[in-house]
Structure 1
């Protein structure tokens, strides 16, 4: 009887691991597709960045984002979620000086929200109860500081058209980092 119970538990663990693995593979495909759509939308917004070259700024992307070490799938998902959340927060600022097409902004919001929803669904509560390690805490703090610098820059430049162009280029870079982090879902 005990062997039968152990067999059932082992079988259940095997199926749940397989299902979670497939879920991450599907998430990776969906995230990559959605990130590419966001990059395309941002490219449409960005007009002529070369005209704002004097306003360029190094916002100092955290090294953990540029060159991530070996991450767990959950850690990568958590970092991506935080990045997407902050991108949305930036684009809720004063866009009046940009002259951007509102339909493109709405499409960008929809894509980012869909990515966040997929992450939430796949992790099923792990985002709220993430196993915070010192590395996760430091990465989260560095991310918040990075996005704070972007928001501070926009405020200092009074949300000018060139400031938004510079920020748009930076957010475009963010999606390439997100794509790199999404690759951890296949491991």
Structure 2
């Protein structure tokens, strides 16, 4: 991040424990991963997104996120059927939703400035790397 954007650093309340998946059951971890992917997709790919990336890169990201979401939805549906608990009642999912709500509020407050988007991009990269660790752990189970 450039020095001129340093004043934009912000704590979004990254739900580290939920994303690392150490203390959650498989069903919760699947739901959390789905919410992370959905949150990133909404941030960068929703109509009206002001993401400041190169359009080609953004298109590739959105395509891959869409593919992952489709894949994850089948897993979430299967886990919900087994547990018979709606995903929204999962406290870990609520923590992830709150995290992305904080990011959306921040972007609105900062009027979608390029520095705000740079801050969000770095933040989301952290969240994605933690959730990738959790995904790898799940695939071994």
Please say whether Structure 1 and Structure 2 have the same fold, judged by a TM-score greater than 0.5. yes
Q: Identify the residue that residue 12 of structure 2 maps to in structure 1.
A: 59
Identify if the C-alpha distance between structure 1 residues 118 and 108 changes in structure 2 by more than 3 Å, giving closer, same or farther: same
Q: Identify the residue that residue 140 of structure 1 maps to in structure 2.
A: 93
The separation in 2 between residues aligned to 1:145 and 1:71, in whole angstroms, is 18
Q: Structure 1 residue 167 and structure 2 residue 135: aligned? A: no
Of residues 95, 110, 128 in structure 1, which corresponds to 2:50? 95
Identify if the C-alpha distance between structure 1 residues 65 and 124 changes in structure 2 by more than 3 Å, giving closer, same or farther: closer
Question: Pairwise CA RMSD of aligned residues?
Answer: 2.4
Q: Identify the residue that residue 116 of structure 1 maps to in structure 2.
A: 69
Of residues 130, 133, 136 in structure 2, which corresponds to 1:180? 133
Identify if the C-alpha distance between structure 1 residues 101 and 63 changes in structure 2 by more than 3 Å, giving closer, same or farther: closer
Task: Give the number of the structure whose alpha-carbon radius of gyration is greater.
Answer: 1
The separation in 2 between residues aligned to 1:126 and 1:83, in whole angstroms, is 18
Identify if the C-alpha distance between structure 1 residues 111 and 62 changes in structure 2 by more than 3 Å, giving closer, same or farther: same
The separation in 2 between residues aligned to 1:54 and 1:80, in whole angstroms, is 30
> What is the aligned residue count?
135
Tell me the CA shift for residue 58 of structure 1.
Answer: 0.9
The separation in 2 between residues aligned to 1:85 and 1:146, in whole angstroms, is 12
Contact 1:56 1:166 in 2 (8 A): yes
Q: Identify the residue that residue 77 of structure 2 maps to in structure 1.
A: 125
The separation in 1 between residues aligned to 2:76 and 2:49, in whole angstroms, is 34
Give the TM-score taking structure 1 as reference length. 0.63
Give the TM-score taking structure 2 as reference length. 0.82
Contact 1:65 1:177 in 2 (8 A): no
Unpaired segments ≥5 residues, structure 1: 1-48
Tell me the CA shift for residue 79 of structure 1.
Answer: 0.9
Identify if the C-alpha distance between structure 1 residues 152 and 161 changes in structure 2 by more than 3 Å, giving closer, same or farther: same
Tell me the CA shift for residue 73 of structure 1.
Answer: 3.0
The separation in 2 between residues aligned to 1:117 and 1:67, in whole angstroms, is 22
Tell me the CA shift for residue 169 of structure 1.
Answer: 0.3
